[in-house]
Structure 1
Amino acid sequence: MSSLFSLSLTTAILCGAWMIGADMTGLIAWAGFAGCTTFFAAGGKKEGFKSAICTNLSGVFWAMLSIKMSAILGFPQAGVIMTIIITFFLCIQSKITILKFIPGAFVGSFSTFAANGDWMKLLPSLFLGVVLGFLCEWTGILLYDKYGKKED
């Protein structure tokens, strides 16, 4: 069994379990997959875990600020103006080392809008999605170490 096969198998099983668990608890299943994707896109391992969590959270923060400020401003183009402003901050914050993974911030932001600003369901869904990614990687490595055939 290759390392890719091991990762694929454990990921498939764990993602199926996530779907069942998210459904049973009322969490947002697709947001969990967004968090999981962020973990892998950020490079996985411990650093990818930290980066995914921090950048997803920052994206949720900026999106919620945009939603609240757009409502306060109350004119038709307020959303456009807030989009311009938060997009700037989603990018410029990458000067901070832990927030350097810009796509993770955008994932947190667009997920907030897709969840209609329901950050109370979104945050645990994204967080558990990052945990899901970590578990997929970890169990894939364990399975490969136990049963894998070294690849050329």
Structure 2
Amino acid sequence: MSTLLAIAITTGILSGIWGWVAVSFGLLSWTGFLGCTSYFAAPKDGVRGLLESYATNLTGVFWAMVIISGSQYMSIEIMGYVLTGIVSFLMCIQAKKQWLSYIPGTFIGCCATFAANGEWQIVIPSLLLGGAFGFSMKASGLWLHKRASAEKSLQQSVINEQAQ
């Protein structure tokens, strides 16, 4: 079994479970899938990738709220766009810090917050649990691949011994 097939199997199973969890607990399932995607696309792997994904997603939520809140206090519409430009610059420049270097994660958190109309209280747990599911999807897929490979190797050894 290839690594891709193993990850696809566990991702399929855990995606269904995530959908049920999200609905059962009143979370945003699509936001959870963004958290999952953020983990899968992170440049680092494992726990480090998950933590960097979390850090950047959460700063994205923060920056979205800065734009949303700041725009409400500006009476000239063009100033909201200026604020968006400034904050977008800050979202990128924060990547100078190693833990915040995953710029797409920041934009994922920001966009999720915009799409949820600024309801950050529901966006944050949805992103975090989605990221945890993404981590679980990949980790369990790698485990399944390793187990299937070991089993195939054992079967091949038995066949080779019988042939001798």
TM interval, short-chain normalised: over 0.9
- Equivalent position of 1:88 in the other structure: 89
Segments ≥4 residues shifted beyond 4 Å: none
1:2 aligns with 2:38: no
CA distance in 2, matches of 1:8, 1:17: 14
- Equivalent position of 2:120 in the other structure: 119
1:14 aligns with 2:20: no
Give unpaired runs (5+ residues) of structure 1. none
- Equivalent position of 2:161 in the other structure: none
Q: Deviations over 1:47-88 (max 9, x none)?
A: 210110000000000110110011012332232112101100
Matched length: 150
Give the match's secondary structure for 1:120. helix
Q: Deviations over 1:13-51 (max 9, x none)?
A: 001110111011110001101111110111331221011
Q: Which has the larger radius of gyration?
A: 2
CA distance in 1, matches of 2:93, 2:148: 45
Deviation at 1:129, TM superposition (A): 0.9
CA distance in 2, matches of 1:110, 1:79: 16
CA distance in 1, matches of 2:134, 2:42: 11
What TM-score do the two structures reach when normalised by structure 2? 0.88
% same residue: 43
Give the match's secondary structure for 1:134. helix
